[in-house]
Amino acid sequence: MKTKAILLGTICFVSGAFVTKLADNKLTVAMLQDAQKTMGLHFSDAQLDSTLTELEENRENYEAVRKVKLPNSVPPALVFNPIPVGYTFAQQRTPFAVERPEKVKMPRHRDELAFYSVPQLAELVRTQQISSEELTKFFLARLKKYGPTLECITTLTEELAMQQARQADKEIKAGKYKGILHGIPFGVKDLLSTRKYKTTWGAMPYKDQVIDEDATVVQRLQDAGGVLVAKTTLGALAMGDVWYGGKTRTPWDITKGSSGSSAGSAAAVAGGLLPYAIGTETLGSIVSPSTACGTTGLRPTFGRVSRHGAMALSWSMDKIGPIARSAEDCAIVFDAIYGPDGKDQSVYDAPFNYNPGIDVKKLRVGYLKNDFDGKYGFKQNDEATLATLRKAGIELVPLELPDLPARALTVTISVEGAAAFDDLTRSGRDSLLVAQHKNAWPNTFRAARFVPAVEYLQAQRVRTLLVQQMQEKLKDVDVYLSPSFGSSNLVVTNLTGHPCVVLPNGFQENGMPTTITFMGKLFGEAELLSFAKFYQGLTDHEEKHPDMNFGKKKKSKV
């Protein structure tokens, strides 16, 4: 079998097996002739011969770098900047506030608490109609009862939860109420580190891993008085819904997966096992499970929320956000977690001036007309959403996305992921991952070793053009609407770092939920969430929930 080699400046990594083979053999022109074919290059034999000495030196340098211990938490020295030339964000800050629901009472049937909103639960706790300890026990009981069915939980943090709940009750009784999240249970995707509890990344090679610190997001929610009750499943290393313990299910039909990779967070919220949970997205990992489970999810602007303590897949694309029942629930959670922490250098100090009373009719609203006019799965429900907004007096302005090869730029994830899990690949422990098919991480990471470094950087330069062109496209709108799927929007905006709210807008004939995506400008979460709340005030889609026993098609309303 012929051995392939690395061309100077054209490939950034080599597979472990390849390196071992080359360590015993000098590079030759024949090897380089084969190697350049994988990259579409056409150097002459004389040109290739001239590179041999430097390529041998490069190979020694690769080995030197590999001897440096690089845990997943160490980022590259390059930080993605989503801000276009000439762009500025607001500096003035206003206090965060939401309207408290009036006359919230304990339901006649306590099980109905499972689908109460965060403000409703908060009012019950604040007025001491139910203690945080009682509420925590309630959700722990549901997690224990239904979690195994949905396969949505990796770890119950019961001991910690009871301590935090009792502390919250003491503080509230003493008049030290911290705010709307005080005493409210929550869960986090199990790629966020938690002190004393395992952080498994959903993957067999890491199923017993303990990273003994709280991720910034976890710490901030606990500082707000939140009660951590569970760590939720994710597809192994943030892909899909298959993890080392099984396949996470959607409560709308437990024969179907919940999609991913924030699989457990969406399934647990949809099933009434958690009031809200934290998810992450690199290329659809909040949008996709929120669609399969009928939840509302916020993917914030890149650089809004610290990723300290989060598993890195793609340093230039990973984003952390809440999955909840409504846009306002997402706003409440986002207000607690956004902003710099002095640890993640990609985070910007931009304000979040949420105003649920904003006159949304003054917002300039666009929509991807050509995408909505096309043929795709959720078209009927999306058309109904557009009609509802128009009926409410919203003028929808046609909009188009930049004409650049966005899909080709997703090589970013492959290369950065291969670097993040370099040791996993070279050690051969990638064979422990459950998924081993052609498109699974083991093969993707191996293939990424043969992506030329020059081509990776060229892709980032095209990405800069994409950022600039998106700024030009959005100069006349504040928010815009897109199909959740059946459009290039999901890929484009994950590359540019724009925020989105994915929200339910109906059901398919088989009883599974559908969603539509509302997009915002960079750092425009306030207007985006206010507009999403306005839409949810016109409809009741977010209030629908599965049958308590997770039937296939039955749906009811609180």
**245-274 pLDDT tens trace:** 999 999 999 999 999 999 999 999 999 999
The predicted model scores a pTM of 0.93
Could you state, in order of their start, the residue ranges of all structural domains in the chain?
1-68, 110-351+358-404+461-557
Q: Which of 163, 147, 73 is nearest to 114 (CA)?
A: 147
The confidence score (pLDDT) of residue 18 equals: 41
246-247/296-299 β-pairing: unpaired
- pLDDT value, residue 553: 41
* Cβ partners under 8 Å of residue 198, min gap 6: 154, 155, 190, 207, 208, 209, 210, 231
Q: 114 and 194 in contact (C-beta within 8 Å)?
A: no
Q: How far is CA 364 from the centre of its chain?
A: 27
Three-state secondary structure call for residue 79: coil
Q: Distance between CA 5 and CA 59 in Å, rounded?
A: 10
Distances (CA, A) of 313 to 48, 310, 420: 34, 9, 6
Regarding beta strands 513-520 and 319-324, do their DSSP bridges make them parallel or antiparallel, or are they unpaired? unpaired
The secondary structure element, H or E, covering residue 397 is strand 396-398
Q: Which residue has the tokens 């009871």?
A: 162
Distance from C-alpha of 401 to C-alpha of 475, rounded to nearest angstrom: 12
In single-letter form, the type of residue at position 130 comes to: I
| HEC-encoded secondary structure of 140-172 | HHHHHHHHHHHCCEEEECHHHHHHHHHHHHHHH
Predicted local confidence at residue 21, as pLDDT: 45
Beta pairing, strands 153-156 & 296-299: unpaired
pLDDT at 24: 56
Q: Could you write out the DSSP letters of every residue in 425-476?
A: HHHTGGGGSS--STTSHHHHHHHHTTS-HHHHHHHHHHHHHHHHHHHHHTTT
Q: Decide if 307 contacts 416 (C-beta within 8 A).
A: no
Q: CATH code for 110-351+358-404+461-557?
A: 3.90.1300.10
Q: Rounded to 5 degrees, what angle do the CA atoms 392, 397, 401 make? A: 135
As a whole number, the mean pLDDT across the chain is 93
- In the chain, the percentage of residues whose pLDDT exceeds 70 is 94
Regions of the chain short of the pLDDT cut 70: 1-24, 550-558
Taking only the tens place, the pLDDT of each residue in 41-61 is 999 999 999 999 999 999 999
Dihedral over Cα of 246, 248, 252, 255: its sign: negative
